[in-house]
Amino acid sequence: MSNATVKELSELLARKACSSVELSQEFINKINGLNKSLGCYITVDAERTLAQAKAADARRAAGNAGVLTGVPLAHKDIFCAKGWLTTCGSKMLGNFVAPYDAHVVERCAAEGMVTLGKTNMDEFAMGSSNETSHFGPVRNPWDQQRVPGGSSGGSAAAVAARLAPAATGTDTGGSIRQPAALTGICGLKPTYGLVSRYGMIAFASSLDQAGPMARSAEDLGLLLNVMAGHDARDSTSLQRPAEDYNRDLAEPLKGLRIGLPKEFFGAGMSADVQKATDAAIAQYQKLGAVPVEVSLPNMNLSVPVYYVLAPAEASSNLSRFDGVRYGHRAAEYGDLLDMYKRSRAEGFGAEVKRRILIGTYVLSHGYYDAYYIRAQKLRRLIAQDFVEAFKTCDVILGPTSPTTAFKFGEKSADPVQMYLSDIYTIAVNLAGLPGMSIPCGFGDGGLPVGLQIIGNYFDEARMLNVAHQYQLATDWHRRAPQGSAS
C-alpha cells in the first residue's frame, strides 16, 4: 500500500479494502525502518497519528467522509500544527510546540487527512540542499551521498522513499520544485495568494507560497483542492470561487502552445538534464503540442534580485526571534541587549545569519534606494517578461534544476553556486506565477531529472492537465528508489 498514489489510496479506503489505521501503521513501520538513515522527519508521534486515523475510519463508517479522509500525509516543519513540535529546522525553535494549526494543516485536518509527522527542512527555509537544518541533513533516497534539494527536502525525500504518499511544502524561490526534481517526485507551487500563509513561519512574505508534493499530477490536484481557499487571517489570501483543479485532466493537448524560453536552454544546464528535457519536449510534440520559442530577457537578473529582496524580508520577519516570548534563550547573559545577542547568535545557523546580515544591509539608510528599491523595479520587469511570453504560448516548459542531485558539501562552501541551483525557478516566485515540477527521466548515475511547467496566473488546472497527459504517456513518475517500493 505504501507504493500507491494518493488517488489509489483514496479508492482503497472508499472500497474498505483497507482502513486508515492499517494504512497509517504501514507508513509508521516504514518510517521507523528508514528515517534514521534518510533523516526525512524531525518529529513523529505514532500515538497521535493512529488516533487521527481511527477518527478518520469513524468518519467513513458514519458516511461523512471527504475524498481524502483517512489518507496520510506529512507536513513540512514550517507549518504550525497544534500540539506538535514545530522547529523550522532551527535550534531557535527547537523547543517550540505550536498552540494552533496553520491554515494548510487546518484544511487537511478538516478533510480528515492523517498527519504522519513533521518533515526536516533547511533552517527557516533558507537553502537548496537541506544541509542547513539544525537536526542534520536529509539524504536523497536515490543516492544517500547526495542532497535531496531544499528547502522542502524532507518532504520530497519522504514521498520519494515511500515514507508518505504526499507532503506539504513551501516554495520561496523553488523550494518545492527543485527538491521534487532532485528526488523524482511531483511538486506544485500555486499562484501567490491561492493558499493561505497563516501559520506558516515566514521567511520572505511576498514570495512564500505553500503547495503540495506527491507522486503524480492527479495527486497534486486532489491535494490542492483541499489546501486552496480564502483565509481572512492572511491579508494576501485571495478571494476566489472554489475550483476542482483536476477538472481538465482528460483534455487532449492537440494545439497546446508550449513556450520554450531561449534563456532556459543556454550555458549552465548539464548535458544529461538537457537530454531528458529535450526528450520530454519531443513527447509533448507527439501528444499534439506545438513548441514556440519565447524570451525572458531579464531572467538572468532573477537570482541577484531575489537575494536582495528575500534577505530583506527575512531580516524583518526573523527579528521576532529574540529569546523573549518563545524559542531559544541563552542560558547566560548580562542585560537585555546581551540576551538578544547571545540568543540569536546561538539559535541561528550560519546561512540564516548570512541572510539576516545581507537583508539588514540592503534596508539600511543610504543603501535602501540603491539596492532594495532597484530590485523591486527589476522584479516588475521580470514579471512583465512573463506577461509578454504568455501572449504567444499557453504554458512554459523547461528544466527545473540545471543539474541532477549534487553531493553533500559540493556547493555548501560557495553560496553563489548554491544559489544558482534555483536559477530556473526563482523568476516564477518573483512574478507570483504558478509552477510545478514533474519527473521526466534520469541523468548520469540514475539520478532523477525534473521538467518544470509554468502557467499563467490561476492556470493550475491547465498545468495539471499538461502534466497528467504526459504522465499517461510515460512512467517516470512511477519509478521508485531501490528498496523503497516494497
For the annotated catalytic residues, the residue numbers are 76, 151, 175
Strand partners, 291: 258
* Edge-to-edge strand list for the sheet holding 257-261: 41-44, 114-119, 72-76, 167-171, 209-214, 186-189, 435-442, 448-454, 395-399, 257-261, 290-294
Separation between Cα atoms, residue 266 and residue 295, nearest integer Å: 12
Query: Got the DSSP string for 65-94?
Result: --TTTT-EEEEETTB--TTSB--TTSGGGT
Q: At 127, list the grid cell.
A: 537553502
Beta-carbon contacts of 137 under 8 Å, excluding residues fewer than 6 positions away, are 39, 129, 130, 131, 147, 408
Are 331 and 96 in contact by the 8 Å Cβ rule? The answer is no
Helices and strands (H, E) in the chain, number of each type: 15, 11
Are 249 and 467 in contact by the 8 Å Cβ rule? The answer is no
Are 72 and 63 in contact by the 8 Å Cβ rule? The answer is no
Backbone angles phi, psi at 475, to 5 degrees: -130, 20
Separation between Cα atoms, residue 259 and residue 278, nearest integer Å: 13
Helices 20-38 & 46-62 angle (0-180, nearest 10): 150
Burial class of residue 61 in the structure, from the number of CB atoms within 10 Å of its CB (0-12 exposed, 13-18 middle, 19+ buried): exposed
Separation between Cα atoms, residue 157 and residue 179, nearest integer Å: 8
Q: At 455, list the grid cell.
A: 502557467
User: 151: cis peptide before it, omega within 30°?
Assistant: yes
Q: Around 206, how many Cα atoms within 13 Å sit in the side-chain half-sphere?
A: 13
Are 60 and 23 in contact by the 8 Å Cβ rule? The answer is no
Burial class of residue 177 in the structure, from the number of CB atoms within 10 Å of its CB (0-12 exposed, 13-18 middle, 19+ buried): buried
Separation between Cα atoms, residue 394 and residue 469, nearest integer Å: 15
Backbone angles phi, psi at 261, to 5 degrees: -65, 125
